[in-house]
Amino acid sequence: MNAIYILWLRQVKRYFRSKSRIIGALGQPLLFLFALGFGFGPIFERAGEGDYLQFLVPGIIAMSILFTSIFNGIEIIWDRQFGFLKETLVAPVSRVNIMLGKTLGGASVSIFQGITILAIASMIGFRLTHPSVLLAALLFMFLVALFFTALGSAIASVLDDIHGFQLIMNFLVMPLFFLSGALFPVEDLPPAVNIFVQFNPLSYGVDGLRGSLTGVFQLALWANFAVLTACGAIMVIIGAYLFSRVEI
């Protein structure tokens, strides 16, 4: 447990030491929030769908967590190339604990990003149904962050090229994001596309966040929670197995 805590703390400190990284990670979500929130808001309202900002903000929070979480895997490749990972792996610590510490650290950083987006959105007009819903929202943020941080770590464990990692991540991340219900309702999509939505773990994270923060959701909160918990547990196990086989 001490090793997990130390690695978690190292990940968090590394993030907060880089102010440019914090600003850079917030740039794209804020662009989507302001450009789409105020650009498509009137169209969404005229279509009879209500306040688009209320619909959009949970999706943008999920987007921020998704990108921050999954690209934490780059640090594994970076550390391997510069020898830092070797120093960590030769320590008398289980590789599973190392992976858990890195995953929890990356997830914590991602949750901070999500909370920051929520705070900014509240300043421009987003309304919570009740302050008590923040606990449920934080739980869904954690589950989304855990799954995608573990996914990024798992993929990084079998790659040794940063550019290859970025290409694979872009190939995965953009479809996952756009077909999660983050930016538009997914109820009336074609059946073939809807199948992808149903098998997309981020769909349950977005729906859980939206249900927690605004009270509007497609599935029951417990169903979203159950799916994300199962997916997160499976991905952590897969990530731990692949990381345990990393060669140095």
Give residue-wise pLDDT tens across range 73-107. 777 777 777 666 666 666 667 778 888 888 888 88
* pLDDT at residue 141, rounded to an integer: 94
* pLDDT at residue 37, rounded to an integer: 77
Largest CA distance in the chain: 62
What is the mean pLDDT of the segment spanning 36-54? 74
Pairwise CA distance, residues 106 & 235, whole Å: 14
From residue 100, alpha-carbon distances to 120, 138, 139, 241 in Å are 30, 19, 18, 11
Q: How many CB atoms lie within 10 A of CB 165?
A: 22
Answer yes or no: are the C-beta atoms of 222 and 216 closer than 8 Å.
no
pLDDT grade for 187, boundaries at 50, 70 and 90: confident
DSSP E strands, the chain: none
Q: For all residues of the chain together, what is the average pLDDT?
A: 82
**What range defines the domain where residue 50 resides?**
2-244
**189-219 pLDDT, tens per residue?**
888 888 888 999 999 999 999 999 988 888 8
Q: Is the pLDDT of residue 40 over 70?
A: yes
Answer yes or no: are the C-beta atoms of 63 and 32 closer than 8 Å.
yes
Residue 143's nearest CA partner among 195, 98, 71, 206 is: 206
Q: Is the pLDDT of residue 120 over 70?
A: yes
Residue 61's nearest CA partner among 208, 163, 216 is: 208
pLDDT: which is higher, 163 or 149: 149
Pairwise CA distance, residues 68 & 106, whole Å: 8
Answer yes or no: are the C-beta atoms of 113 and 64 closer than 8 Å.
yes
* pLDDT at residue 104, rounded to an integer: 87
Q: Is the pLDDT of residue 45 over 80?
A: no
Pairwise CA distance, residues 88 & 79, whole Å: 9
In this prediction the pTM is 0.89
Domain count, the chain: 1
